[in-house]
Structure 1
Amino acid sequence: MKTIGTALLALALVAHAEVTTFPIVPSATDPQIKQFDDPHWIYVNHDLVTGSQANGVQDRHELLLWLTGTGGQGHDAQGFSKLAADLGYHVVTLMFPNDLPASACARDSNPKGFEDLRMAIIQGGHATYQDGRKELTITRTECIESRLIKALQFLQEKRPRENWAQFLKADGSIHWEAIAVAGQSQGGGHAALIGIKHRVARVLCFGAPKDYNQKLNAPAAWYGLESATPKDRFFAFNHHQDPKGCTPEQLLINLKALGLAASVPPAEVDSEALPFHHARILYTSYPAVTITGVDSEGARTAHGSAILTKHAERWKQVWTYMLTE
């Protein structure tokens, strides 16, 4: 099995054709979009997905949907997105309403608070938090699902040879089974919940999932829902010291509640080689940091370490494993 993983990494390294990277302003795909209009970013190896690149890598006929963290931009995961495109994915890094962290529900009495807030952002709707004292309403036009549909329709019109329409069904809805959903922090939590609600190609979480209810001293209720996506398609890559959203100990409780440690223990990527004993939970201690509080520089560094583009060479094997295992 190690030989197979090494071969997959080799394929990633021989993808020589250029990855095309370009922005799309959300309102250009739908004039009804009025908020969070910073660009989506698109990554595609045009020669690969149109069948004209002869280097052993094939079009996966899968879309990687990247969802950024709170306050993030669509281009935050450039290194990861370019690698995915060279592995045969079409890639959309989506801008969406991301100013409210899910941790706003961390002290709610409602065990469904995290799920309600996330689903309002994912599919549009209304949610309350802080025990009903505050409200969030996201229109269908502004939500993740509608923005993705409009982006894919726009891309199909502008770049038909790349076949972006394959990620939509005949009725115009999302073809989730052809989509790998990934994200960091808030976006990683959205990715995991989408994987619970829809059967997707895979789920990739970085610095996530962080939904732990401090008031109830329990992981979010939605982790225990019946999952439309098999749990062996979920992967999580985190830093051992990451305190953002919940403590490192609570994060591991979340991952176990999600069912990712049921048969294979976590892998330590700093000391293990590909394929990381086929673990679904991956951990690093790089870089070593000093944590003086959840808003300290050390905390921010640990929280973002697993996805930072400046670490792309270090994490190439890990990312390739997560994208292809």
Structure 2
Amino acid sequence: MKALLLTALLVSQLSAAPTEGKHYDLTARASEIDPRAKAHPEIGFLLEKGGKPQDVEHASVDTRVPSQGKLVIWLMGYDKELFNHLDSYGMNSIQVCYAREWFDKLYSGPPPKDDLFLSNIRLEAATGEDASEAVDIPKPDSIMERSYQFVKWLDQKNPEGNWKQFLTRDGKGLQWDKVILSGISHGSTTAARMAKAVKVDRVVMFSGPRDQYEVWQKLPSATPESSFFGFSNVLDDGWISDHYPRSWQLMGLQQFGPVVNVDKTPAPYGHTRRLISDADVGGNHGRAHSSAMPGGAAVKDASGKFIHEDVWRYLFTSPIGETGKPVPADPKTRMEQRK
């Protein structure tokens, strides 16, 4: 009888023991996941170049970390350091290949006197809807559809990562209210524009948004304004030229606190949505642009530790319901950029 009780106790303890978990890092080509994915050479949006795939997408999750129930969709090139940070926050993350090469082909200086020229291209790249006459990006090649197809593939290939939690109950789409859109530069600008039209959980904007000649930033937003978070180094040309502060003001982020220098104010930075750094980047404007996010350009201290660890965690995980006090718009910010 004692032996039976001991066996039952052991079985109970084993069944209650937590799973060990694992870090998963996966890649797949968009065109292999979805045969509808096509190249658009007229805007440089390719599947292959020089015999090398151009549509490889990345995903990662660490099941050893308690899940936050959030899916980060990263808009720009894959960066392992960034994804390692997101994994440590308990996020599921994907990087999708989307149409961004058009920028160099369709843009040279101020765009036509159309306040939504670039805006409509970004919207079409995001949704696949016919929003712009300048490009033709169908649904299978949009951010939304490629993200959905990738997550659906991940659910089949990596069920351990619990990607199913981001699919709708009928499996025919993503639960966008669980999505964090993020990017740097062009990617942060497209993320912000997309979130104006599609309600998401949060937007994390590194070194952006730009589109300094346009006014889409002040359009009504499906995503609450309090869900937009920006971070830039002050030596970044986009900051010096008032491109980012202009966008932040048009988006109404002054409702949630002043611009805060993270190198002089500790987390949670007064719960503001506008963060800057004057960390030393050796006078290099290009490095300043990339230094806002985890990666090779980010600033480290004497011990080799990234100095903005708290900033990155704040951007992705701080409670959206906690905000700073409203401040007036800065009259020194150059809002009219065409002059």
TM-score, structure 1 length as denominator? 0.78
Q: What's the CA shift for 1:18?
A: 5.5
Q: Give CA deviations for 1:253-293 in whole Å, capped at 9, x if unaligned.
A: 11111111224101101222111111101101223444xxx
Shift of 1:171: 5.5
What percent identity do the matched residue pairs reach?
23
Instruction: Indicate if the aligned counterparts of 1:67 and 1:188 stay in contact, CA closer than 8 A.
Output: yes
Aligned residue in 1 for 2:287: 301
- Aligned counterpart for 2:250 among listed residues 248, 257, 260: 257
- Work out which structure has the larger RCO, using CA pairs closer than 8 Å and 6 or more positions apart in sequence: 1
Check the 8 A contact 2:70/2:180 in 1, yes or no: yes
2:26 to 22, 25, 34: 22
Distance 2:165 2:256 in 1: 34
TM-fit CA distance, 1:113:
1.0
- Mapped to 2, the partners of 1:38 and 1:249 lie a distance apart of 34
Query: In the alignment, which residue of structure 2 is the partner of 1:60?
Result: 68
Unaligned runs of 5+ in 2: 1-19, 39-45, 48-53, 299-304, 319-339
Measured after TM superposition, the shift of residue 141 of structure 1 is 1.4
- Give the one of 271, 274, 281 matched to 2:274: 281
Letter aligned with residue 25 of structure 1: R
What do the CA deviations read for 1:73-112 (whole angstroms, capped 9, x no partner)? 2x23x22221111211111111222212388284321111
Amino acid at match of 1:164: W
Name structure 1 gaps, 5 residues minimum: 1-15, 49-57, 214-219, 291-297
Task: Report the counterpart of residue 140 of structure 2 in structure 1.
Answer: 141
Question: Could you tell me whether the CA contact under 8 Å between 1:19 and 1:82 is conserved in 2?
Answer: no
Equivalent residues of 1:125, 1:137 under 8 A apart: no
User: What's the secondary structure of 2:101's corresponding residue?
Assistant: coil
Pick which of 29-38 and 231-240 moved more: 29-38
User: Where do 4+ consecutive residues of structure 1 move more than 6 Å?
Assistant: none
**Distance verdict in 2 for CA 1:274–1:221, change over 3 Å:** same
- For 1:229, the equivalent position in structure 2 comes to 223
Partner secondary structure for residue 102 of structure 2: coil
Partner of 2:186: 186
1:70-219 alignment runs, 5 A limit: 73=77, 75-76=78-79, 78-101=80-103, 104=107, 106-126=110-130, 135-169=134-168, 170=170, 172-213=172-213
Q: In structure 1, what is the equivalent of residue 265 of structure 2?
A: 272
2-side partners of 1:195 and 1:307: how far apart? 20
Q: In the TM superposition, what whole-angstrom CA distance separates every residue of 1:148-193 from its partner, at most 9, and x where no partner exists?
A: 1110110011112322122222261221101011111111011112
Residues 1:17 and 1:284: Cα distance change in structure 2 (over 3 Å): farther
CA distance in 1, matches of 2:139, 2:306: 39
**Partner deviation per Cα, 1:8-55 (whole Å, 9 max, x = no partner):** xxxxxxxx975322322212211222334332111100334xxxxxxx
Q: TM-score, normalised by structure 2?
A: 0.75
Q: Is the CA contact (8 Å cut-off) linking 1:29 and 1:150 kept in structure 2?
A: yes
Whole-angstrom distance in 1 between the partners of 2:256 and 2:90: 29
| RMSD between aligned residues | 2.3
CA distance in 2 between partners of 1:95 and 1:29 (Å): 12
Partner of 2:332: none
CA–CA separation in structure 1 for the residues paired with 2:249 and 2:190: 17
Q: Which segment is superposed worse, 27-36 or 198-207?
A: 27-36
Q: 1:38 aligns with which of 55, 72, 76?
A: 55
Higher alpha-carbon Rg: 2
Residue in 1 aligned with 2:233? 239
- How many residues are aligned here? 276
SS in 1 for 2:93: strand
